[in-house]
Structure 1
Amino acid sequence: MLAQNQRPEVGRHGFGSTLLRRRESGVRILLTAWGSRGDVEPLVGLAVELRKLGAQVRVCAPPDEEFRALLARVDVPLLPLGPTVRSVVAGTKPPTAEDAFRLAPALVAARFDTLAGAAEGSDVLLATGLMPAGARDVAEKLGIRYVYACFHILGLPSRHFPPGARPGRQSPADESDNRVLWEQDAQRVNALYGEALNRHRAAIGLPPVENVRDHVFTGRPWLAADATLCPSRGLTDLDVRQTGPWLLPDDRPLPEGLEAFLDAGPAPVYVGFGSMAAHAPEGIARVAVEACRAHGRRLVLGRGWADLAAVDDADDCFVVGEVNQQALFRRVAAVVHHGGAGTTTTAALAGAPQVVVPRIADQPHWAARVAELGLGRAHDDSTPTVDSLSAALDGALTAEIRARATAVAALIRTDGAAVAARTLLDGLDPEGSPGSA
């Protein structure tokens, strides 16, 4: 890493000579992620809290219109990074392993090219989302502090659980030693990102990295998740700093039509799968409608990236697009969703019973936690039928589950973004010089 006052040389990646600009303009923070809304919205919540403390904040994220609108709500411009997420995930079929091996080096290149300019003059670069290989390297070249943050512990090496699925050469089916499995996970990360990362590092005069995953994570990653929903103590080999979830307060009113629908009868069930597009369960709209009708319940259907729509003209289903889920979830009988970290936390904070239909990545983990905590039911199969979803709703729509969900809601901390903002700034001296993660 460069000495504190050393200026980086100008290179083909755009590393300029205005690093010391931060001494004149106060603390400057760059936040970056490439991933779904669940990866981007927490950064917006953190940006809000950082600005309250006087920091200048920039957010580098995918150029999807949804993310532009999200940042526009808090008057933070989006600095585009890589392709839109929709262009990658919203095809007729889920992305393949071949797609992943094309995307990984492209994102590495995008981070070197984009973050080099965006981080110029910053004091801290905080990265999250899909394996942000390249972010730490830009920070290293610029001589600024780097922080890696995640929203669950499933990707962090642990002797207590195996790694999740990742494209590449898979571990033998009979391998059960978690240490070995995590070593093989690191090899898969290297296969995806290693060549591109080290090629770009060499271009700016940095030595190669042997273990890309551990290099990205650092020895002390930050965990932006609630300790009740996602405990971490003793569960990973790394020194995790858990701040609580980075929530973006939402005071937008619900649409008039939705308000009228909610007022017109008993609390409906909400069903939505967020940014799951090709991964949304087949036929889920019809399954959801019929399962809710089997319980005599109306339905609020979240359109999401799968573009779900009403299946008939009956007046017991209301379709919503972008909406204030914090307000909506407080008024529904249950929330049926895919198990993303953000949706799980929002539903839990609202005290709403949940039915989680996990599809990919960390979603099975959140489904299991919902069931373990007594907040609702985990749907065993990723493609529900009318009968199976009806049975799950039968288990979630009880007074006992509602009472438990209400009790747990009171335990979830809501100041995680403020904690993280203070921690980021406390790591800098009064002049804004780099500190350790």
Structure 2
Amino acid sequence: MQEPVNKIVDHLFRHESGKMIAVLSKLLGLQNLGAAQDLTQDTLVQALYTWSYKGLPDNPTAWLYRVARNKAIDYLRREKTFRAVRAQHAVWLNEQYTVDPDGSLFEEGQIEDSLLRMMFACCHPAIPVESQIALVLKTLCGLSVPEIARAFLRDEETISKRVYRAREKIKAENIALELPLSHELPARLDAVLHALYLLFNEGYNSSQPEQLIREDLCEEAMRLAFLLTQTPATNLPRTNALLALFCFQASRLKARLGEQGNIILLKQQDRSKWYQPLISKGYFFLDTATQHETSIYHLEAAIAYLHAVAPSFEDTDWKAIYYLYQVLATEHPTPFILLNKAIAASYALDKRTALEALNNIQGLENYYLYHTAIGEIYFDLHEHEQALKHYQKALSLTRSVAEQQLLQQKLLACVNGFTPSEL
């Protein structure tokens, strides 16, 4: 019984913890964001123990919200603020079940989803932008500190400090949990979009050792991005471009892993498994996005579109992709973009040019895909000793079982002297 319960609680943690924290923070006040998170974690721990002995309730989600509500009431009583809060949220506090966190607790407004509302509330201009995003990912999206650190190319201590300082600033300055007015939403939108972008990326290429793809994270990022396109104040071109990017990328999910969980690289993927309805949706949102602005999401979505419509890896328009990465690198010269630009150069230009570009990138020395890319080019140039060195470095930098298996195959190919066409 224990294993199924663990899986159910883990699933609910991923899907409900952010919403529960959003609801409890509305009740307790944003200055008590830490308390809302603690109460949510306590509720999930209680579920793990209670359900293991008594079995699953008929409605696990309702059980969670009822217990979380009771814990919130106990907290307010200890803090001697229950009477003041009760008048404002009496209906919610008296409900036996609270399955829908977007119902009676929140007033009607342009953004009705509780999690999105909380994201905008956390992206307060008084908090540094990277701290806003880290706070959203850690508190509302359920990502761990190591996962966030990987996304930002920062060490875990830096991320922990950012989240802690953001919470302390909220508490010290008594920042109220308020959804910005309609005309204020666009100013906070970029931080929310960036958080969704990183959430999707963690789902698309997870840092979990045993799970390369986490479709639940991809789906949640897409759900929230879609909701943003349904709200007039946030239905901007860059929002549609981000959703288009998600659609193009998600269309390939089923083709990225083999039956044994092994990684299938882009050049070997069965393109008949790419989900065409999502590609069509991606094109629709990209077409909708082509108005008055060109954001980083427009450029990345255009690159993903070129991959999606290519009949084969060899027939991909690599020169167009390289050009788009040139534009991206000019406007956003991040290490990840420079890495992808160099990889595109290896197909659009030549291997030596790509290798030189890779060697000039700073900040990716401890990133496994960086060394994998260098190893790939050396392998294609038949310089197997150099390829071996970088594959070994990449292997030491990843905890993913699937990635380790793929790198072991590449190492074996180097040792046996296979040619690139035989790999």
TM-score range, shorter chain: under 0.3
The answer to which structure has the higher strand fraction is: 1
Structure showing greater Rg? 2
TM-score for both structures, normalised by structure 2? 0.25
The answer to which structure has the higher helix fraction is: 2
